[in-house]
Chain A
Amino acid sequence: MSKLFSKENGEVFTNPLNINNPIAVQVLGICSALAVTSQLKPAIVMGLSVTVITAFSNVIISLLRKTIPNRIRIIVQLVVVAALVTIVSNILKAYVYDVSVQLSVYVGLIITNCILMGRLEAFAMQNGPWESFLDGVGNGLGYAIILVVVGFVRELLGFGSVFGFQIIPDSWLLENGGLYMHNGMMTMPAMALILLACVIWVHRAYNKDIE
């Protein structure tokens, strides 16, 4: 047991949450980070989906790593990822239909998320299943954290709500005689890019050694 939760394994899990964050440091997978973060709920579902898929594809590839022919390893990785993504997308459609409508094509596009292929090629091909599982969960959550932060700010400023609950009362709005207006820009993908840059900025300010 002590080996399962050793210090190295702990780092495998915590590094991607902070000093080796896939979005903030490696700047991978940002296209989906822009597209699904206009509200908190799809951002969380997307974060969890990516976490599940990275973790399990890491485990599968790690189990297979000694048998995979070197010449077709990328294809095998892709097949495993694509199969898992298709399964997750089917499950979402069956059990959380309204969220799957909101995420639309982006679930399918997890296949092309650079974080996945990056982790498979860089980590799972060299390490055991347990380490790979931790690495996958860590990277998925590292991705999810950033999505949640961006989603929170965009939903709050763009719609005046958090998780669909109205935070900013309607009576504040200009059209109801108040002095406040929702920032429509926040609902556009472009603002996610700017917010993402702010997140990276703050992150680097606290971790000077990254540069």
Chain B
Amino acid sequence: MAKLNTNGNAYTIIYAAVIVVIVAFLLAFVASALKPTQDDNVAIDKKQQILSSLNIRGVEKSAVDATYKSVIVNDAIYGTDPTTPTNNGEAKDQAGFKVEGKNITPDNRPFYVAEVDGAKKYVIPVTGAGLWGGLWGYVALNEDCETVYGTYFSHESETAGLGARITEQWFQDSFQGKKLYAEGNEDVVLSVVKKGKEGSMSPDNYVNGVTGATLTSNGVNDMIQEDLKSYQDILKAQKK
């Protein structure tokens, strides 16, 4: 084989072009071949989160889809009209389920209706900001649209061992049975407060934050209050 001049301009340019084209094809192939599996994983993860908010935890990965479909009745999307959803949500994971947290706006609100042990539950997605990054979660309410049935929270990058503890079950379970509203009032008052700062609040209306993670706890507090407030009209319409 004749010795190639590997330092020539033409050779260098052609070499770079060929390498880039090969790599581009390879990556495009891998990405599109694995895309369906990856999307499935993301969907299963989201279903697991919603089930967790309904206190159904530790479901095997292979059983998540079936459990989700047996529990969730409807994944409606509500626009500005709180009485009728803009879709029928029959497939349970085709409508509201497809709305990503960042796309939730007042005229695009996913609202899950679930049935656990014969009782109706409503699941509301919430999103907010913690100390370092985004927070999100789901709040499940009983049929009275006021009592919390269960919650699930997760985070992008809160401090491990401190703020990241909002993902632990003891914190999420502490919301169970709490009420959104104070007696005879219609403002959402459910709060996360520092131990000792409860003031005159009824024990029904607050949970204690995570020790050493005040800013993350405040983030959870704001996220719950603001997002539940924006769903209040739907909840009222459901109650009637």
* Bound Cα distance from A101 to B41, whole angstroms: 11
> B45 contacts which chain A residues (CB < 8 A)?
97-98, 101
> B4 contacts which chain A residues (CB < 8 A)?
67
**For the complex, is B11 an interface residue (Cβ under 8 Å from A)?**
yes
Max count, chain A CB within 10 A of own CB: residue among B4, B41, B44, B212: B41
> B34 contacts which chain A residues (CB < 8 A)?
90-91, 93-94
* Bound Cα distance from A72 to B45, whole angstroms: 43
Task: Label chain A's interface by main secondary structure.
Answer: helix
> A32 contacts which chain B residues (CB < 8 A)?
none
Contact between chains at A68 and B6 (CB < 8 Å): yes
**For the complex, is A158 an interface residue (Cβ under 8 Å from B)?**
yes
Contact between chains at B15 and A158 (CB < 8 Å): no
**For the complex, is A38 an interface residue (Cβ under 8 Å from B)?**
yes
Given A184-B161, A187-B160, check contact A69 B15 (CB 8 Å): yes
**Binary interface encoding of chain B residues 1-29 relative to chain A, with 1 for a CB under 8 A from any of its CBs, else 0:** 00010110001100110011001001100
Chain A: interface residue total (CB-CB under 8 A): 30
**For the complex, is A182 an interface residue (Cβ under 8 Å from B)?**
yes
Contact between chains at B6 and A70 (CB < 8 Å): yes
| Selected contact of A83 from candidates B15, B26, B42, CB within 8 Å | B26
**For the complex, is A149 an interface residue (Cβ under 8 Å from B)?**
no
B57 CB, min distance to chain A CBs, angstroms: 15
> A187 contacts which chain B residues (CB < 8 A)?
159-161
| Selected contact of B16 from candidates A72, A86, A98, CB within 8 Å | A72
* Bound Cα distance from A55 to B55, whole angstroms: 45
A157 CB, min distance to chain B CBs, angstroms: 11
Task: Label chain B's interface by main secondary structure.
Answer: helix
| Selected contact of B7 from candidates A71, A91, A95, A182, CB within 8 Å | A71
Contact between chains at B7 and A70 (CB < 8 Å): yes
* Bound Cα distance from A69 to B15, whole angstroms: 8
**For the complex, is B99 an interface residue (Cβ under 8 Å from A)?**
no
A190 CB, min distance to chain B CBs, angstroms: 12
A142 CB, min distance to chain B CBs, angstroms: 26
B32 CB, min distance to chain A CBs, angstroms: 10
Given A93-B41, A94-B41, A188-B160, check contact A68 B15 (CB 8 Å): yes
| Selected contact of A93 from candidates B6, B38, B157, B162, CB within 8 Å | B38
> A80 contacts which chain B residues (CB < 8 A)?
23
Contact between chains at B160 and A79 (CB < 8 Å): no
Contact between chains at B212 and A184 (CB < 8 Å): yes
B70 CB, min distance to chain A CBs, angstroms: 23
**Binary interface encoding of chain A residues 83-120 relative to chain B, with 1 for a CB under 8 A from any of its CBs, else 0:** 10011001101110110010010000000000000000
A144 CB, min distance to chain B CBs, angstroms: 21
**For the complex, is B237 an interface residue (Cβ under 8 Å from A)?**
no
* Bound Cα distance from A104 to B133, whole angstroms: 13
**For the complex, is B66 an interface residue (Cβ under 8 Å from A)?**
no
> A101 contacts which chain B residues (CB < 8 A)?
45
> A79 contacts which chain B residues (CB < 8 A)?
19-20, 23
What residues of chain A have their CB less than 8 Å away from a CB belonging to chain B?
38, 66-72, 75-76, 79-80, 83, 86-87, 90-91, 93-95, 97-98, 101, 104, 158-159, 182, 184, 187-188
List 11 additional contacts besides A69-B15, A94-B41; criterion CB under 8 Å: A68-B6, A69-B6, A69-B11, A69-B12, A76-B19, A87-B30, A91-B34, A93-B38, A158-B160, A158-B161, A159-B161
Q: What are 18 of the A-B contact pairs (CB < 8 Å)?
A: A67-B4, A67-B6, A69-B7, A70-B6, A72-B16, A79-B19, A86-B27, A86-B30, A90-B34, A91-B34, A93-B34, A94-B41, A95-B37, A97-B41, A97-B42, A97-B44, A182-B161, A187-B161
Query: Which 10 A-B pairs give the minimum distances between C-beta atoms?
Result: A187-B161, A97-B41, A94-B37, A69-B12, A187-B160, A94-B34, A83-B23, A184-B161, A93-B38, A90-B34
